[in-house]
Amino acid sequence: MFATAELRWFYQGILPNEMIKWFQSGGAGEELKAPEEREDLYLYAAGYEYLNIKLREERLEVKWRQAELGELSFRNAGKGKAEKWLKWICGSPPAQSLIATIPIETREWVRVKKSRTQRQFQVLSDESIISVPVDADINQGCTVELTQLIVKGEAWWSLAFEAFGEDENLIATLHKVVEWVAKSYSGLSVQAASSSGYPKWLSMTVNR
C-alpha cells in the first residue's frame, strides 16, 4: 500500500495538437519516452466516487480516496482539484477472488483504451526540481502524464500530476512540481470543473 497526491483534468475529444507540442517540448521536462498503449478495465460503481478499481495486465489495482485537498492553482492557466489516494496492488488469481467480495450492487466493467505519455520529476533535498527518466527509481517525486482515452467509442484526453514518496511530503511535492511545470505551460486553459479522479470521470462517460 502507498499514498499519492493527485491532480487530474478530463476533456472530451481528440488530444489537441498544442498540448502534444507543449508536452514534447523541453518546457515540460527533459526526459520523454514513447507513448504507452494499453487497455484497462475499470469497475464503475454508481455513487462510489472515492473508490477506483481496475484490472491492468492481469493484476487488480484498488485506490481509495483518503482526502480531498481543495483547489490548486495552475498559475494563469486555471485550477484543479487535488486529492490524496491510497493504492493497493494485487496479482491474479487473488485479484479475481477479491473482486467477487466487493459489496456493490450497481457495478459495470468499463474498457478504457489509453495512449499515455509521461514525464517524471524528482524533488531533491534542497527542494530543487530536476527532470529524470520515467523508469528512474526515486524516493520523492511526481509524474506528469498526457493521455488520449477511448471509452465506449468516444475520445477523451487527460492531463494529470501524481506525486509520490514520504507521506508528509506528498502535498508539498505536488505543489512544487505543478508550479514548476506551469511556468512553461502553453496548452489550453484548465478548469476546476473538469478536474476529478477516474471514478467521477467514469460516471460521466457511463451516464451519457
CATH number of 2-206: 2.40.320.10
State pLDDT tens for residues 76-95. Answer: 778 999 999 999 887 655 55
C-alpha to C-alpha distance for 143 and 107, rounded to whole angstroms: 30
Give pTM, 2 decimals: 0.88
pLDDT reported for residue 21: 87
pLDDT reported for residue 59: 82
State pLDDT tens for residues 140-172. Answer: 999 999 999 999 999 999 999 999 999 999 999
State pLDDT tens for residues 3-43. Answer: 999 999 999 999 999 898 888 886 666 666 778 899 998 98
- Residue 48 DSSP SS3: coil
SS percent in the chain: helix, strand, coil, step 5: 25, 50, 30
pLDDT reported for residue 134: 85
Question: Domain residue spans in the chain?
Answer: 2-206
Q: Are strands 36-45 and 2-12 parallel, antiparallel or unpaired?
A: unpaired
